Amino acid sequence: MKSTNKRAVVLLSGGMDSTTCLAIATSEGYDCYSMAFDYGQRHAIELEKAGLQARAFGVRRHMVIGVELSKIGGSALTTEIAVPKEPPAGDIPVTYVPARNTVFLSLGLAWAETLGARDIFIGANQVDYSGYPDCRDEFISAYQRMANLATRMGMRGESISIRTPLLNLDKAAIIRRGLELGVNYINTHTCYDPTPGGLACGLCPSCRLRLAGFAAAGCKDPVAYA
Amino acid sequence: MKSTNKRAVVLLSGGMDSTTCLAIATSEGYDCYSMAFDYGQRHAIELEKAGLQARAFGVRRHMVIGVELSKIGGSALTTEIAVPKEPPAGDIPVTYVPARNTVFLSLGLAWAETLGARDIFIGANQVDYSGYPDCRDEFISAYQRMANLATRMGMRGESISIRTPLLNLDKAAIIRRGLELGVNYINTHTCYDPTPGGLACGLCPSCRLRLAGFAAAGCKDPVAYA
């Protein structure tokens, strides 16, 4: 049942999780406003995929926001630090980008307030990325509480929700849900360290999680690997 | 007494409040890392003043981060909405930039985590700007709580503080404190709607608060007005 005038901001990186998250928001009847970030990531090819998915799901508007996180550094994804080719072991991996979800949610919050959207969707997942502090339930709850104090909407009692439909799903469950909702995963990008031509490496932690997810879901990953 | 190895990130717009905040952080013995934001503001001249103040107070590093808030809009400061020339009356003024302090603190948080800095200074003030939701004590407390859940530092028990030394001071008290600490207010910019040559208008709400503050402090504002 399609409701009307229900706006949501959806953070859309062009990866599997955020695309599935967009599919879920769309299926719930939201008018979706998708937002991608050009932050100096070495895998900027994901922005092309975000644009394709925004079109595929008929969002009201897709916005790419520039934010110079690469100046701040501190991560293998935005600097010359090498992306590891082994599965992560203990502690927080070098691919963690300091405060990235906090920054992205904050830009999503700014747009939500401008649009009068009360829901912000983010494809955070604490099952397969448990090393990242900003993918945990307790972070999301604290963020939502802060967001309601930060904004005019919150002051007026129009409460804002940070929606995380993937938070407790594993990769296989995410893929199955996405396929049910018509996601074409060939137009998603996951690899942290693609070839200059944009092919996924198949070896970085992010590729490994993706491939294991497709295997567990019992289907073949449609993207090409180097 | 100058302590060592105590790093702080200081959000520095080049206005009176953030400059005074930098003077206070410096006086407390912090090694300061100042951060300014190029967000499409119509008063981008403030970035020049931020650079001058960073040099004047000998910060370790001054960083200007680009973030495209003007694409999001929703404010007289980043769009063609006119800046009012009367004192604000009731409600939240059109000069409010949606979620601006949330976005700026989040970028400051990213840098703090990269530097291992546990203090982030912001010149927020709830006395003379009470119309902005993101200048209130309860917002700052909620932000700090979220920040400690968002980061590797927080997970490791190295708690992060959002420092707001100006929160409960009025403009006159801010100016007096800054003068004691050697702030040269000629190199600060406050006006929301300067002339093309960079002169303050003297009429916008921000100029009015500044001028009233200097009058109450019993001294003359050194900047030139149009």
Predicted TM-score (pTM) of the model is 0.93
**Residue A226 domain-assigned (yes or no):** no
CATH code at position B128: 3.40.50.620
**Residue A72 domain-assigned (yes or no):** yes
**Residue A168 domain-assigned (yes or no):** yes
* Secondary structure in 3-state letters for B23-49: HHHHHCCCEEEEEEEECCCCCCCHHHH
Question: What pLDDT shows up at residue A192?
Answer: 87
- In this complex, the residue of B98, B106, B147 whose CB is nearest that of residue A114 is B98
Q: Which residues contact B196 (CB under 8 A, 6 or more apart)?
A: none
**Count of domains observed in chain A:** 1
**Per-residue pLDDT band at A128 (split at 50, 70, 90):** low
B94 part of contact set with chain A, CB < 8 Å: no
Cβ A68–B67 below 8 Å, yes or no?
yes
Tell me: the pLDDT tens digits for A84-100?
A: 776 666 567 777 788 99
Question: What pLDDT shows up at residue A17?
Answer: 96
Q: Is the confidence at residue A2, as pLDDT, over 60?
A: no
Question: What pLDDT shows up at residue B140?
Answer: 97
- In this complex, the residue of B74, B110, B155 whose CB is nearest that of residue A114 is B74
Give the tokens for residue A96. Answer: 């963690």
From chain A, the residues in CB contact with B129 under 8 A are none
Cβ A99–B110 below 8 Å, yes or no?
yes
> What is the percent of chain A where pLDDT is above 70?
93
Tell me: the pLDDT tens digits for B146-162?
A: 999 999 888 889 999 99
**Residue A97 domain-assigned (yes or no):** yes
H or E stretch including A17? helix A16-27
Q: Is the confidence at residue A3, as pLDDT, over 70?
A: no
Range of the domain at B55: 7-217
**Per-residue pLDDT band at B65 (split at 50, 70, 90):** very high
Radius of gyration of chain B (CA): 17
- The DSSP output letter for B200 is B
**Residue B45 domain-assigned (yes or no):** yes
- In this complex, the residue of A96, A113, A139 whose CB is nearest that of residue B98 is A113
Of A176-180, B25-29, B70-74, B212-216, the one with minimum mean pLDDT is: B70-74
Q: How far is B153 from chain A (nearest CA, A)?
A: 9
Q: Is the confidence at residue B126, as pLDDT, over 80?
A: yes
What is the pairing mode between strands A119-121 and A161-163?
parallel
**Residue B24 domain-assigned (yes or no):** yes
Cβ A98–B107 below 8 Å, yes or no?
no
The count of other CB atoms within 10 Å of the CB of residue B73 is 17
Range 28-47 of B in CB contact (< 8 A) with A = none
A210 part of contact set with chain B, CB < 8 Å: no
Question: What pLDDT shows up at residue B169?
Answer: 95
**Per-residue pLDDT band at B2 (split at 50, 70, 90):** very low
Tell me: the pLDDT tens digits for A9-67?
A: 999 999 999 999 999 999 999 999 999 999 988 788 899 999 999 999 999 999 999 99
Nearest CA in chain B to A145: B142
Tell me: the pLDDT tens digits for B171-184?
A: 999 999 999 999 99
**Residue B1 domain-assigned (yes or no):** no
Give the tokens for residue B19. Answer: 């400059």
Mean pLDDT score of chain B, rounded to an integer?
A: 90
- When pLDDT is averaged across residues A60-75 and rounded to a whole number, the result is 91
Cβ A154–B134 below 8 Å, yes or no?
no
CB B26 within 8 A of CB B63: no
Cβ A96–B71 below 8 Å, yes or no?
no
Question: What pLDDT shows up at residue A90?
Answer: 59
Question: What pLDDT shows up at residue A1?
Answer: 42
**Residue B172 domain-assigned (yes or no):** yes
What ipTM was predicted for this assembly?
A: 0.92
CB B98 within 8 A of CB B74: yes
Is the backbone of residue A100 left (phi > 0), alpha (psi -120 to 50) or beta?
Answer: alpha
Range 115-154 of A in CB contact (< 8 A) with B = 133-134, 136, 138-139, 142-143, 145-147, 149-152, 154
- When pLDDT is averaged across residues B42-66 and rounded to a whole number, the result is 94
